Amino acid sequence: MARGGARAVAPAALLLLLLLAAGGGGVHCLRSRAESGATVLELRHHASLGSGGRSSRAEEARAVLASDAARVSSLQRRVGSYGLIRSPDAAAASKLAQVPVTSGARLRTLNYVATVGIGGGEATVIVDTASELTWVQCKPCDACHDQQEPLFDPSSSPSYAAVPCNSSSCDALRVATGMSGGQACDQPAACSYALSYRDGSCSRGVLAHDRLSLAGEDIEGFVFGCGTSNQGPFGGTSGLMGLGRSPLSLISQTTEQFGGVFSYCLPRKESGSSGSLVLGDDSSAYRNSTPIVYTAMVTDPLQGPFYMVSLTGISVGGEDVQSPGFSSGGGRAIVDSGTIITSLVPSVYAAVRAEFVRQLAEYPQAPPFSILDTCFDLTGLREVQVPSLKLAFDGGAEVEVDSKGVLYVVAGDASQVCLALAALRSEDDTPIIGNYQQKNLRVIFDTAASQIGFAQETCDYI
């Protein structure tokens, strides 16, 4: 793989994704194993957990897309808030305090879960690239959401310890959330945290450290949130794994083990298929069928935990889309595992939409659905030629979206099939590349070289 400079290759942790069938059951402890120098954790799709199987396909799609819209709105608010809470004095005071410690919107839109070890116990957590802090529910719990695994009991772990409020980790937490980094505290006092979610969900507790286990790879002194008051639709999981770009995220805390590199490949099917999440830069764990192409991460001290790239163009069916939005700031985009549908600034979306409508003019249009305003009636058709969708990034990297990531099937009889893209509210909003458009791609996040890579990969192996 291309690198900005020579460095030791970190071991890889290969995390397998197994999708649950729609309306599937609850959360179970997922397997882990070592495999040819890689560490393997099983991951499962979380979107359908807790649905109970009683809702129609359209009702479930409407709920998922509404949650996705809430997440997009939350991410926009967070992007806009960093410049307001980060003063020059605070930035100079601590290199650890780069972003506010908050999370995304409803967690039902964060689609993948994994089981990790915490202090000798196990916790199945939601994986999210836009979250900075890992947290799990802990005893004694004042108010906890239902989870299928036993609550983590700090008293049963000899390696557990609360983080004191005058520690550097707590300073990072304080400054990131807009509090004064120089606030006095007594040594014995524990560092408290409070994460707020846009839908009213929350997690509150104390910052702590303990042993984190990833399929036998032990991370001593891993800092996480021990939540004793947690509310929200977390689908029976134990908490959240933060993979964001921040000092308290799992990626930053495991730099020694995994070199600040992780990647994933999301399968194209929504049931009965598998993909992988790899911690480390061991490319032998990949199954890519095309060379990896890289684009630089946008380096902005106010960008928060997000992985941003410069989106320079889009082509539909081989036709380049022309829009002033690419050159007026609308091309800076977040690559996100938790958002489903890709959202574009209005001017870029309008141009992409117009080209799709032109190329699909032979098919009757159907009513819009939720955040998807461009839909077609494909009833009775056995085959449809779907225009290709290609994304172009700074540095010349081009990525073709898998055909399954172009259209979103609302109705099982194909009477309502929609373009799987949405418009943001303002030209000033930040575009988001959602996971629906990342299917069958190996997406590599290399924080050490500050670059993101893409390659075609069939994500249906175990």
What's the confidence (pLDDT) of residue 269? 65
- Intra-chain end-to-end CA distance of the chain, in Å: 23
DSSP class of residue 369? B
How many angstroms separate the CA atoms of 82 and 304, rounded? 7
pTM of the model: 0.83
Choice among 281, 336, 429, 446 that is catalytic: 336
What's the confidence (pLDDT) of residue 126? 83
What's the confidence (pLDDT) of residue 45? 62
Choice among 128, 281, 402, 429 that is catalytic: 128
User: If you compute the radius of gyration of the chain from its CA atoms, what whole number of angstroms results?
Assistant: 21
For the chain, residues classed under CATH 2.40.70.10 are 57-80+287-456, 111-258
CATH superfamily of 57-80+287-456: Acid Proteases (2.40.70.10)
- Is residue 336 flagged as an active site residue? yes
pLDDT in tens, the chain (462 residues): 443 333 333 334 444 333 222 233 444 566 665 555 455 555 566 653 444 455 677 887 888 788 778 778 878 877 776 554 443 343 332 222 111 222 222 333 346 777 889 998 999 888 889 888 899 999 999 898 888 889 999 999 999 999 998 899 998 777 655 444 444 565 568 999 888 765 567 889 999 999 999 877 899 999 999 999 998 767 788 998 899 888 899 999 999 888 999 988 887 766 666 677 788 888 888 889 999 999 999 987 666 789 999 999 999 999 999 999 988 666 789 999 888 899 999 999 999 999 999 999 999 999 999 999 999 999 998 888 899 999 999 999 999 999 989 999 998 899 999 999 999 999 999 999 998 999 899 999 999 999 999 999 988 655
Q: How far is CA 65 from the centre of its chain?
A: 16
**Is the distance from CB of 209 to CB of 222 less than 8 angstroms?**
yes
SS3 per residue for 218-262? EEEEEEEEEEEEEECCCCECCEEEECCCCCCCHHHHCHHHHCCEE
Take residue 276 and report the two structure tokens written for it: 């992988």
88: number of Cβ within 10 Å: 7
**111-258 has which CATH code?**
2.40.70.10
How many angstroms separate the CA atoms of 158 and 121, rounded? 12
- Is residue 402 flagged as an active site residue? no
What's the confidence (pLDDT) of residue 13? 42
